[in-house]
Every structure is written in C-alpha cells, then in structure tokens.
Amino acid sequence: MDQNKFKITESEINRPVTCFAISLVWLSIIAVANVIAVLFYDLFEHGFGEYFAYRPDRFFIILIAEILLITLSFFLIIHMIGVRKRYFRRVVIDEKGVYIYNYRNKIVNQTLYTELSLSNTPFVPDVSGKTNSQPSLTKSLRIFKKNKAGEIQETVIDFNFGFYILKNKYELYRHFLQGVQTFRTDLKISDYTLKEYNLTGEKRPLQKWVESEFAVTAVLLAFIFGLVYLFVLLIKFLS
C-alpha cells in the first residue's frame, strides 16, 4: 500500500448489541430487586418473630438470600453506573499508529508503528493474532514493544471494550496490520494472521468471526440472566 494513500480509520460501535448487553444486565438487577421486595414482604406479612419461631430454617435461608441479593444488586448498580466511563473507547488508526480515546476524548493508550520491535522469542512472529477465551471468545493482536527500561516485552493490540462492542473490529485489526506492512516492512507478520485478515494478496472471502464473537457474548449474558432467574424461582419456592 502507498504510504501517501494510507487512510484514517475509526471505530464504530455496534449499538444494537451494546444496548442489548447493557439492558440484559439491568433486567437482571430489576429481577433481583423484585425478589428482594417479595421476600421482605413475605417476612413482614408473617412477622419476623413468628417466622423465626415456627419456620426457623426458611427464615435463615431468606435472611441469607436477602443479604446476598442486596450485596449483588449494590455492586451491579455501582458497576453499571460507571459503565460508560469504564468501558467506552474510540479507536483511531492513521499513518503513525493506533490511538485509543476514552469517553472524554482523551488518549488513554497508543501504539506507534515506530515503537514496534522484533520478537524476542524464537519461532514467534513479530506480529501475530491471538485468541482469548476468558471471559468470552475475543480476538487481539500480539506485538512486541520496548518498555521504559529498554527491554523488549510482549503486549497486545486489543479492541475488546466490554459492553461497547465494535462492529468494525475486524477492519480495525486489518488496517493496523496494513500499516505494519506499509511502514514497518522489517517486521514479520505470521502467515496464519495474514490469511485470517485477508492480507496475502489472494482473493478470499472476509472472515466472519466478529459475528461469532457477538453471538458468544450474547449467549453468555443470556446464560447469566438465566442463572439469576433460576435463583429467583428457587428462593420463591423455598419461601
């Protein structure tokens, strides 16, 4: 690619998936809050003293459940209140490298092409793809940079930002790799990564793993919501 024709690429948030993920968590919080209210109503209706005297086993089960549910709700609410501040990121890739901005439009991380180094590990390419399985299936790029002490360390280019899922994540990784090919011809990109991001020069269909990441994330969130719902039913049954 001609250096003068290297374009600027910015991230785009997949708003439907992001809204779905955030809404699912808030629905879980509402479900837990409803259970807390129902259990408290049950205790007040029968009276704490009578419940403790005639049904001590269920009294302590409900009491422990209330403490756990209130604690869970508290931490979830605190977490969700700061979700934009904690997770929102905007990615910009230009001829110098990649810049990551926070919700205040301030740079919180950057990787310049001039900062990239040769791999310090035998048989490991200078740039390669990386698949993460925790907490969900995600993709990133493995690179090498020098730290402040001048030592070469492995690090990653990661465009996975929690609830704020990027719909053009594949294109962003691909564009960064094109930048490496254009401005750092001395670096070796793994053959598998070149094929995965359609950079071999061969005409290949674009990869569709981004959609699978969305599906895995949605299924994981739905599974968590299902567990909360089952817990709700169990508590109601015991009460």
116, two tokens: 């990239």
Per-residue model confidence (pLDDT) at position 8: 93
Q: Would you give the distance in Å from CA 116 to the centre of its chain?
A: 25
Which are the contacts of 51, defined by CB distance < 8 A and separation ≥ 6?
A: 43, 58, 59, 62
Which are the contacts of 120, defined by CB distance < 8 A and separation ≥ 6?
A: 144, 152, 154
Per-residue model confidence (pLDDT) at position 111: 95
State the pTM of this model: 0.76
Identity (one letter) of the amino acid at 226?
A: G
170, two tokens: 């594949």
How many other CB atoms are there within 10 angstroms of residue 46's CB atom? 15
Helices 56-81 and 209-238 cross at an angle (nearest 10°) of: 150
Pairwise CA distance, residues 119 & 3, whole Å:
24
Per-residue model confidence (pLDDT) at position 217: 57
Pairwise CA distance, residues 141 & 158, whole Å:
7
Tens of pLDDT, residue by residue, the chain (239 residues) = 656 678 999 999 988 888 887 887 888 788 778 777 877 777 777 666 666 666 666 777 777 777 887 888 888 888 788 788 888 899 999 999 999 999 999 999 999 999 999 998 888 999 999 987 665 678 899 999 988 888 899 999 999 888 888 989 999 999 999 999 999 999 999 999 999 998 876 555 444 444 455 566 566 666 766 666 676 666 556 55
Pairwise CA distance, residues 60 & 230, whole Å:
20
